[in-house]
Structure formats: C-alpha cells, structure tokens
Amino acid sequence: MRFQNKVAIITGAASGMGQLAAKLFIEEGGFVVMTDINADAVTAAATELSPDHQQAVGVQADVRLYEEVQQVADEAMKKFGRIDVLMNFAGGAESRVLNCHKPFYEMPVEVIDWGLDVNLKGAVYFCRAVMGQMVQQQSGVIINLGSISGVEGSGGAVNYSAAKSGIIGLTKSLALSGAKQGVRACCVSPGPVLTRPGMANMKTRLGRAADPEEVVDLILYLCSDKAGFITGSNYLIDGGRSCGGMD
Ligand SMILES: NC(=O)c1ccc[n+]([C@@H]2O[C@H](COP(=O)([O-])OP(=O)(O)OC[C@H]3O[C@@H](n4cnc5c(N)ncnc54)[C@H](O)[C@@H]3O)[C@@H](O)[C@H]2O)c1
C-alpha cells in the first residue's frame, strides 16, 4: 500500500499506460483524478475503477488549454484536498495520431503544432498547475513521459521527437527548481510498449516490445517514497535499444 491516502493527477488516463497507472495507484490505497481529452472514455474508466467515485474521478481536459488544465488541478484540491503526484501520460506521435505520414518538410503546420503542443506544452502546463500546491505541501512527485524517440531522434515523427527531448530538459529544470521544496521530478523514456499491437514491429535488443505493466511499475516505483533520493533523472526502459546497432 505504497500510496495510502496519496492523491495523483494522471493525464492521458482514458487509455494505455495512463489508465493502467490509475488502476495500480488506486489498488495501493491512493486517490486519482484521471484526465483526458476523451470525455466519455475517461469518465467510463474512472467509473469502472471506482463506481462510487470515492477513489477516482474522471475530468475532461485538453492539455493544450491552460484554463482546462488549471480546472483539473482545482478539481483535485476540491475533491481530495492535496496533490502528491502528477503523471503526464497524455501524448503520442503526431504522424500516427493524425495519420499524416508526409516528410517533415511537407508536414502541415497544424500537425507540427499538435506534436509539440500535446507532447511538450501540455506537460509544461500541468507541471505549472500543480507545482505551487506541491511546494506549499513541501512534497510532491512529477513523472513526465519521454520516449526513446526523444533520445535517438525519429525521421518519421520529428516534432514528437523534439517534444520528447524537451521533456527531459523540462524534468531536469523542475528537479532543480523543486529540490529545496521537497518536489521531485523524473522522466521515463520507453522504447516500444504494447499499448497497441503495431509497437511489436519496432526492434529492441530483447526482441520484443514492453508489456505496459513493465513501464508503469517503474513509474510507480519513482512515485513512491522508496525513490526519495531520485530526482532529475531520465530512465530509459527500452529493451536495450539505446545500446545502438539496431537497424
Ligand atoms: N506506447 C509506446 O510505445 C510509447 C513509447 C514511448 C513513449 N510513449 C509515451 O507514453 C505516453 C502514453 O502512451 P500510451 O501508449 O499509453 O498512449 P495512449 O495513446 O494509449 O494514451 C494517450 C492518451 O492521451 C490522450 N490525449 C491525446 N491528446 C490529448 C490532449 N490534447 N489532451 C488530453 N489528453 C490527450 C489520448 O486521448 C489517450 O487517451 C505517451 O506520452 C507516449 O508518447 C509511448
């Protein structure tokens, strides 16, 4: 019960690793505000995890809009009275999500903006919205999702890759800014994760993609008090892909 009475805001919680993180956080005694742009899905996910909404609530928000982001933080304070953890899962490669597979130099500006705004600006906004409360509490943990693409680069998802590199800088800067006030920040950069079958085709040294739980387990460890000496670090969890030599 590592998260007894702890309160987490989890973005991108309507599906994939965000939804799984919410489930496991609750199972260890915590409370979650699950947020996503997909209103129906996030409400349904929260209701499934906590039918009486005592432990989980779903709140619709687009991470690109600061007003909506602030409303999620306000809702967490109103419902649970504190914010101990922020996990920024909302994101995705613009080429895949918007089904636009043009070369970078022909990419429509709207697609570029989506890649940067959802994957980087949204995380910046959420960190901004929760950090004041964490500083006031003199404790808090922020987990940002990077990607192997933010370390290796990606010819097919240039903006995604740039945003995920930015997430590493964001995390280090938050760690520096929060260190004296009890706020830790960590980045987790996965290789391919089987939140969708297509990821099985991406090569790793271990010859497979990650089970979502393998990544979420690392994230929850970093959220826990056991990781109290860890801040500012970027954790690659990529089946050895970053060792190089993959073609
Ligand atoms: N799956 C992988 O192979 C992989 C690899 C490396 C990094 N990641 C990163 O991990 C995170 C989670 O990945 P996943 O595979 O679980 O993703 P997913 O696609 O299952 O979930 C992403 C969620 O973000 C939400 N979202 C999209 N735009 C949004 C917006 N503007 N505002 C609010 N929510 C929005 C979606 O509705 C979705 O529920 C992402 O940041 C992703 O980039 C994933």
Domains assigned to the chain? 7-243 (3.40.50.720)
Query: Does the structure show a pLDDT above 80 at 247?
Result: no
Please write down the HEC assignment for all residues of 127-139: HHHHHHHHHHHCC
Please write down the HEC assignment for all residues of 87-122: EECCCCCHHHHCCCCCCHHHCCHHHHHHHHHHHHHH
Report the run of H or E that residue 79 belongs to, with start and end.
helix 66-80
CA of 49: how far to CAs of 23, 125, 128, 211, in Å?
A: 6, 26, 28, 21
**pLDDT tens readout for residues 51-74:** 999 999 999 999 999 999 999 999
User: What pTM was computed for the model?
Assistant: 0.98
Q: Please tell me which residue in 66, 125, 160, 235 is annotated as part of the active site.
A: 160
- Ligand 1 centroid–CA 176 distance in Å is 26
Q: Which atom of ligand 1 is nearest to the CA of 90?
A: 24
Parallel/antiparallel/unpaired status of strands 140-145 and 7-11: unpaired
- Ligand 1 centroid–CA 227 distance in Å is 24
Per the structure block, which two tokens stand in for 15?
A: 């599906």
Q: Whose CA is nearest to atom 30 of ligand 1?
A: 62
Pocket of ligand 1 (CB under 6 A): 12, 14-18, 36-38, 62-64, 89-92, 118, 122, 145, 147, 190, 192-193, 195, 199
**pLDDT tens readout for residues 75-91:** 999 999 999 999 999 99
Look-up of token digits 């680069």? 153
- Ligand 1 centroid–CA 210 distance in Å is 15
- Ligand 1 centroid–CA 11 distance in Å is 9
Task: Provide mean pLDDT across the span 226-247.
Answer: 93
Q: Which atom of ligand 1 is nearest to the CA of 118?
A: 31
CA 160 to centroid of chain Cα atoms: 14
Per the structure block, which two tokens stand in for 204?
A: 């790793």
- ∠ CA 224-150-33, rounded to 5°: 40
CA distance 133 to 72: 13
**pLDDT tens readout for residues 6-50:** 999 999 999 999 999 999 999 999 999 999 999 999 999 999 999
3-state secondary structure of 183: strand
3-state secondary structure of 73: helix
Query: Does the structure show a pLDDT above 80 at 246?
Result: no
Return the axis-axis angle of helices 122-137 and 66-80, rounded to nearest 10°. Answer: 30
Q: Whose CA is nearest to atom 29 of ligand 1?
A: 37
66 included as an active-site residue: no
